[in-house]
Amino acid sequence: MGLFSSPQRVIRAVLVSQVLMGAAIVGIDMMRSPGSAAPGLFAPPAQGPSVRPYRPDLRPSDPSRPGAPAMRPMPDQLEFSEGADLIAITGQIAPGDGDRFVAWLEEARPQATQVALDSSGGSVSDALAIGRSIRSVGLSTTIQDGAVCLSACPYILAGGRERLVEEGGVVGVHQHYFGKNTILPALMAVADVQQAQASVMEFLDQMGVDLRLMPLALRTPPDEINILTPEQLRDLNVITDADG
């Protein structure tokens, strides 16, 4: 009897090969130098490709600090704090961060009226919830020099009453990831994604952002990020003002 004499053995062999291939890919990725995780992310759009590699768990260090490590970890959930005149929101957007932000607002009662974002994105639904909360209390949003706002983070940015991206700030979009549905049939899962996309479009329209932003996101794979130029940010009304 041959090695692949039964369907069960064939399936088992395919699964084992996929696991080994996946392990090899992860190993190669881990052996790469930290600086190669998101090369050229801070390069001006005119000097670099608009679509660049994307790693939500790592982010480039502030390019204004000579000698700093090329990459540093991005917190795995949002961190909220208030400085002298800014509310800082930093990290990946984790499920539940929308509720955590509301609870933080109620407890901290911040006096600052501007939110500085530095986030690689994450949960779309929580980003929308935070964006709505920011708009409801009349806060403005900003991406400072050396900060990033990627993936779902631009929806938080869109919540600002006024929206600013400083020169050296990076804003990027890509395809939404709402999570795999392993219970519902495929057609129902597709319907869920379509409803979620409709929620995003409705949100952008309510925030005054041009819906032409969506094709730029939907054409970019989840493992890449489409860096928006200052001209695009203004043209699509992602920002209401710009520095530089």
| pTM of the predicted protein model | 0.76
β-pairing verdict for 163-165 and 148-150: unpaired
Residue 45: predicted pLDDT: 56
Distance CA 106, CA 90 (A): 19
**Is the pLDDT at 29 greater than 60, yes or no?**
no
Cβ-based neighbour number of residue 197 at 10 Å: 16
Band of pLDDT at residue 210, cut at 50, 70 and 90: very high
Residue 137: predicted pLDDT: 96
User: What would the two tokens of residue 26 be?
Assistant: 């992860």
Band of pLDDT at residue 119, cut at 50, 70 and 90: very high
Phi, psi of 179 (to 5 degrees): 95, 145
Tell me: the pLDDT tens digits for 47-96?
556 888 888 888 766 555 556 556 778 999 999 999 889 999 999 999 99
Of 66-70, 108-112, 140-144, 227-231, the range with the lowest mean pLDDT is 66-70
Residue 197: predicted pLDDT: 84
Question: What are the angstrom distances between the C-alpha of 166 and each of 5, 89, 171, 200?
Answer: 64, 16, 10, 25
Average of pLDDT values for 125-135?
97
User: What would the two tokens of residue 200 be?
Assistant: 């995003």
Residue 39: predicted pLDDT: 45
2-16, 58-72, 189-203, 219-233: which has the highest mean pLDDT? 219-233
Residue 72: predicted pLDDT: 79
Mean pLDDT for the chain overall: 80
Of 98-107, 171-180, 234-243, the range with the lowest mean pLDDT is 171-180
Residue 3: predicted pLDDT: 45
Phi-psi region of 138 (alpha: psi -120 to 50; beta: other; left: phi over 0): left
**Is the pLDDT at 243 greater than 50, yes or no?**
no
Distance CA 234, CA 244 (A): 12
Phi, psi of 5 (to 5 degrees): -80, -10
**Is the pLDDT at 179 greater than 80, yes or no?**
no
Residue 189: predicted pLDDT: 55
**Is the pLDDT at 31 greater than 50, yes or no?**
no
The domains of the chain are located at: 37-242
Average of pLDDT values for 134-156?
96
Residue 186 neighbours by CB under 8 Å, 6+ apart = none
CATH number of 37-242: 3.90.226.10
Distance CA 233, CA 236 (A): 5
DSSP per position, 173-229: E--------SSS-HHHHHHHHHHHHHHHHHHHHHHT--TTHHHHHHTS-TTEEEEPP
**Is the pLDDT at 146 greater than 50, yes or no?**
yes
Residue 74 neighbours by CB under 8 Å, 6+ apart = 56, 57, 58, 59, 91, 92, 119, 120
Nearest Cα to Cα of residue 79 among 36, 50, 117, 125? 117
